[in-house]
Structure 1
Amino acid sequence: MSIGTPPPPKLEDEATLASELHEAKLEIRALRAQLARTAPTIDDLQRQLVAARKQGERYRQQVAALRQSSSWKITKPLRAIRRREANGTN
């Protein structure tokens, strides 16, 4: 054995490393299975989120269109009177 060369690993160390490697492989397999089960749920939730955002944007557009309508503008004084009466302010 030359200077600077590490000693050969002991059999116990090799057995420990082999056991740890085996456990790590089992954990990787379990995590991959979990990912495979979870991925469809994530995809579904992402689709639902996109749909909800689109629906929210449609509602915002409808509200904006309503507020720009002539009937909304014409009834503005009536809504103001109703608010004052509801608040008890005359």
Structure 2
Amino acid sequence: MDQNEAPVLEALAEHRKLGRYGFTPIWALPGADICVVSAHKMGLGFEQGSMFHLQGNLVDPVRLNQCGHVLPLPGTRTAPCAE
């Protein structure tokens, strides 16, 4: 949560794609309310999706599931994963 009690969203895949970090920034995870992790699968075709990892009670998982498809995240499918 930031100073204004707004949720903090950490998209690790975006940092790696943009070259901001050469490694997964572990230090960013403890303070994030939502962490987005990109998942890749290869079979007959290449698929990519994103998973949400939630902590705390600032973000409603039901609401996130309802509006997750509009977030600008890597992948075409999203699946919330509460922790």
State the TM-score, normalizing by the size of structure 1. 0.24
State the TM-score, normalizing by the size of structure 2. 0.25
Greater strand proportion: 2
